[in-house]
Chain A
Amino acid sequence: MTVYFLCIVLLTMGLYCLVAKKNIVKKVLGIVIMDYAVNLYLIIVGYKSGGVAPIIEPDMPAATLERFVDPLPQAMVLTSIVIGLGVLSLMVAMCIRLYEKHGTFDMSVISKLRG
C-alpha cells in the first residue's frame, strides 16, 4: 500500500509542476515526471512477491512458470515509454519554436501577446 502511495505522490508532484510553474520547460519536465509515475505504478501492479522475470530458460522446472511476474503490464509499459519519448520530442520542438518567436520561456509573457 505504501508503494502505491509513493507513486501517487510522484504523480502529484508532476501535476503541481505542470500547473503552477510558468517556465515552459518546467511544464514539460512535469509531464515527464507524471509519465514516470504512471509507468512505475503499472509495473508495481504486475509485481509478484518473489517473482522472477518472465523469460523461459531451456531446462527450467515447470513450477517456475508460476513465479513469473505479470508480463502484460510490462509489454504495455514498454509501448508507453517509447511513446513518451516521441511526445517529449514534439513538446521540445514546440518549446524551441516558441522561444525563437517570443524570445522567452515565460508562459505569462507569451500568453499576454496578441495577434
Chain B
Amino acid sequence: MIVGSIVAIETRNLLSAVISVAAVGFALSVAFLFLGAPDIAITQLVVEVLVLIILIRGTILLDNTAVESHRDTLAVVTSLIFFGLVLGFGAMIFGGRGFPEFGEPVMRVSRVYVHTGLPATHCANIVTSVILDFRAYDTMGEATVLFTSILGALALLRRDGKKKEGEVVAA
C-alpha cells in the first residue's frame, strides 16, 4: 500500500496516479478482510469502484497532465517539517502508557453492545445493530452530510445557472 501511494504521489501522469490510488484502496479492502471486518471490506470495495469512476471522470477528459515544471522549495520544506512533527508526536503518543497495544482493544463500551446486541435488537450482525439501533442518530447525521455534499456537487456541476432578476441573457 505504501509503495502504491508513493507511485500515486510521484508519477507525472494523472491517470496512472488515480489508478495507483485505486490499487491502494483495494489493498486496504483486503487488509480490512484480514482484520476481521467483512462489512467494512465490502463497503470499501464498492466505494473504491465509485471513487475510481469519479476520479477518472475528473481527469480523463481534461488531459492537461504536464503541470509540475518547477518545485516550490517553501512547500517542500514545510512538508518536511510537518513530516517530522507528525512522526514525533506519533512516537510520543504511542510510546506513552495508557494506549492499547495492538491486538488488545479496550472494549469498554462495546462489550455491552456485543452481549446485549442479539436480545435487544434481534440482529445477528453486531456492526449493523450498532449502526442502525444503538447509534441511529449518528447514521441520520451521516445521511445528512452525504445529502449535503451531493447537493453541493450537483449545484456546482449543473449546466444552466439561474438568472438574477432583470438580467439580460448575453447570448
Which A residues are closer than 8 A to B by beta carbons?
1, 3-6, 8-17, 19-23, 25-26, 28-30, 32-33, 36, 39-40, 43-49, 51-57, 65, 68-72, 74-79, 81-90, 92-97, 99, 103-106, 108
Contact = CB atoms under 8 A, between A and B. Distances in A.
Nearest to B85: A12
B47 A48 contact: no
Tell me what chain B mostly uses at the interface: helix, strand, loop, or mixed: helix
B22 to A, nearest CB: 10
B169 interface: no
Interface in B13-56: 14, 17-18, 21, 24-25, 28, 31-32, 35-40, 43-44, 47, 50-51, 54-55
A79 B6 contact: no
Given A4-B90, A68-B114, A104-B64, A88 B54 contact: yes
A76 B55 CA distance: 25
B54 A48 contact: no
Nearest to B15: A25
B86 A8 contact: yes
> Which 10 residue pairs across A and B have the least CB separation, nearest first?
A49-B103, A86-B149, A54-B126, A93-B153, A69-B36, A75-B130, A71-B126, A92-B58, A72-B110, A93-B156
Contacts of B57: 92
A8 B90 contact: yes
Contact of B142 (A10, A26, A79, A93): A79
Interface of B: 1-2, 5-6, 8-9, 14, 17-18, 21, 24-25, 28, 31-32, 35-40, 43-44, 47, 50-51, 54-55, 57-59, 62, 64, 67-68, 71-72, 75-76, 78-79, 82-83, 86-87, 90-91, 94, 100-107, 109-110, 113-115, 117-118, 124-127, 130-131, 135, 138-139, 142, 145-146, 149-150, 152-153, 156-157
A99 B59 CA distance: 10
Given A47-B103, A56-B117, A21 B146 contact: no
A52 B36 contact: yes
Contacts of B138: 76, 79
A56 B18 CA distance: 38
Contacts of B149: 83, 86-87, 89-90
B67 A105 contact: yes
Given A10-B1, A68-B126, A93-B153, A25 B17 contact: yes
Contacts of A93: 152-153, 156-157
B62 A71 contact: no
Given A79-B138, A92-B58, A20 B76 contact: yes
A21 B9 contact: yes
28 contacts: A10-B1, A12-B82, A13-B5, A20-B76, A29-B55, A30-B9, A36-B1, A40-B28, A40-B32, A44-B35, A45-B105, A47-B35, A53-B36, A54-B36, A55-B124, A68-B114, A69-B105, A71-B114, A71-B117, A71-B127, A72-B113, A74-B127, A75-B127, A77-B40, A84-B47, A90-B152, A90-B153, A105-B64
